[in-house]
Structure 1
Amino acid sequence: MFANPLARAEIWDQVADGYAEFAPAIMQPFSARALEFAAPTPDSRIVDVAAGTGVLSLLAAPEVAEVQAVDFSAAMVERLDKAASAAGLSNITAQVGDGQALPYADERFDAAFSMFGLMFFPRRAKGFAEMFRVLRPGGVAVVSSWAPVLESPLMRMLFGACHAADPAVHEPNPNYLSLENPEVFESEMRAAGFAAISIQRHSTALTFPDGAAMFDTLVRSSAPMRVLRRDLGERRWAERTEVMRAYLLENYRPHHPLSTTALMGVGHRRE
């Protein structure tokens, strides 16, 4: 069931601090776009599935009546709670839970979101089905997943650094069985019961003061990098990070924008 190491909560627990600090720079533009697609109102009740440290939840809370956030990483949920308290947001309830078995009643929410979370579920079909179940008739779901790396100059730069540190590492080829494939994305949403589905591409560009800042943003918040660090051990990881930092310092032009692209699936539950 856990062939994908990113389907394990402990990996996300280990990157929670870095994720809370650095991930919003990348995630917030996509969360803002997801909210535009769903168009919640001040009376809306929404659920944020695989919420992480709450980028979407924190952005949505001032505009809606209620936010329920769920994530399988206790460390992520803890940081979400702290951020909500610091922002004075009392309408967010965050809890540890499984996006494949949501702890909510049927037809409770006006909108459901999963930002770069459901894509990692061992049973994506169950994740989509649960989002459909908790939506009221007329509700909308927005799910995001990364586009293939070749569409992301930002990720290509990072893989260039990884390749410099280990020539055996190459950019991954597109995975046509994953949500990188718009046809798969649409078919899985449709199988869960969603209608009027659209798969949208959305890109955002990031800039960094220099390659070192880019390294910190992309690596300290990255669960895949945490897996690599665990597998390599601290000595070999230190050796590789030195090479990766040097690569980015040499190849990234300070303040130059690099884009990254996501696919966003928007589906509706019929009235």
Structure 2
Amino acid sequence: MSGNPLAAAEPWDLVADGYAEFGPSIMAPFSAHALELAGLSADSHVVDVAAGPGTLSLPAAERVARVTAIDFSEPMLQRLAEDARAAGLTNIEVSVGDGQALPFDDDQFDAGFSMFGLMFFPDRAKGFAELFRVLRPGAIAVVSSWAPVAESPLMRLMFGAFAAADQSIQEPRPNFLNLENPEVFATEMQTAGFAGVSIQRHTSALVFASSDEMWETMMRSSAPLVLMRRTVGEQVWAERAEIMRAYLAENYRPNMPLSTTAFLGIGHKPNR
């Protein structure tokens, strides 16, 4: 099992509303690119594994027949369902479940996605194998993972703020044993059975009107910050929050673009 606290549902449950409100500013461009890569048709039935609040599921539902969204965080899926109803989308089905043991039949979907979800699975091999199993022969899969933090000025600034408040939190070093390594990414998809695997790098940038806006986005949508707050208590949290806000005020210029980079793994389930 993974020791990564982000492999558990609780921190994601706690940030569901903030993640749905602020997360798309960072995540949506990568989901849009994944949908373009998939080349979906109007009669497609797709599965979105670790769907969160629907950053991919909601736009996908506007172009396909059906979307099945699964996540282990029920509050995330509740927010997805609420936003689907508000948008008049009636072709999204939500399911609470584990992406390492999908509750679906074999050969069911025309395309499968996991946007920044499978990368956290305690057993990625099971995650890739389950995604492969539920796809129809000829179906496409698109899975995303962040590139090393060192390649993303947005994440470097965020981790700089974390470290200013708590010196035990340092910018993560590149981990060449996980999906930050394109060779590992491709090998894991191929081992699951996917053919024609390619790993594409995609970069997106966003701006904030002020350092306060950036702080609000981080505070409302960041699972690591929620974990910090619950761990240290409100008094220490207030002290650390002030330090992080001051760090951002000193290091972020209003409307300065901050880029972040991800890898998208694309593969097909071979025709029998």
Q: TM-score range by the shorter chain?
A: over 0.9
For residue 2 of structure 1, report the CA deviation from its aligned partner.
4.8
User: How does the TM-score come out when normalised to structure 1?
Assistant: 0.98
Aligned to 2:12: 12
For residue 234 of structure 1, report the CA deviation from its aligned partner.
1.6
For residue 247 of structure 1, report the CA deviation from its aligned partner.
1.1
Aligned to 1:262: 262
Equivalent-residue separation in structure 1 for 2:62 and 2:41 (angstroms):
10
Contact 1:2 1:8 in 2 (8 A): no
Q: Which runs of 5+ in 2 are unaligned?
A: none
Q: Which runs of 5+ in 1 are unaligned?
A: none
Tell me how large the CA RMSD over aligned residues is.
Answer: 0.9
Figure out how many residues of one structure are paired with residues of the other and give that number.
Answer: 271
Equivalent-residue separation in structure 1 for 2:54 and 2:202 (angstroms):
20
Q: Equivalent residues in 2 for 1:209-228 (5 A)? A: 209-228=209-228
User: How does the TM-score come out when normalised to structure 2?
Assistant: 0.97
Equivalent-residue separation in structure 2 for 1:111 and 1:93 (angstroms):
15
Equivalent-residue separation in structure 1 for 2:184 and 2:215 (angstroms):
32
Deviations 1:135-165 (A, max 9, x none): 1111000000110000000011111112222
Equivalent-residue separation in structure 1 for 2:190 and 2:179 (angstroms):
13
Contact 1:132 1:193 in 2 (8 A): yes
Equivalent-residue separation in structure 1 for 2:76 and 2:169 (angstroms):
29
Aligned to 1:85: 85
Equivalent-residue separation in structure 1 for 2:214 and 2:186 (angstroms):
33
Equivalent-residue separation in structure 2 for 1:216 and 1:232 (angstroms):
19
1:173 aligns with 2:173: yes
Aligned to 1:136: 136
For residue 92 of structure 1, report the CA deviation from its aligned partner.
0.3
Aligned to 2:3: 3
Greater shift in the superposed pair: 227-236 or 80-89: 227-236
Equivalent-residue separation in structure 2 for 1:2 and 1:170 (angstroms):
20
Deviations 1:170-203 (A, max 9, x none): 2110011111011110111011000100001101
Contact 1:138 1:268 in 2 (8 A): yes
Greater shift in the superposed pair: 143-152 or 164-173: 164-173
Greater shift in the superposed pair: 243-252 or 219-228: 219-228
> What one-letter code is carried by the residue in structure 1 that aligns with 2:228?
L
1:66 aligns with 2:51: no
The ranges of structure 1 where at least 4 consecutive aligned residues each deviate by more than 6 angstroms after the TM superposition are none
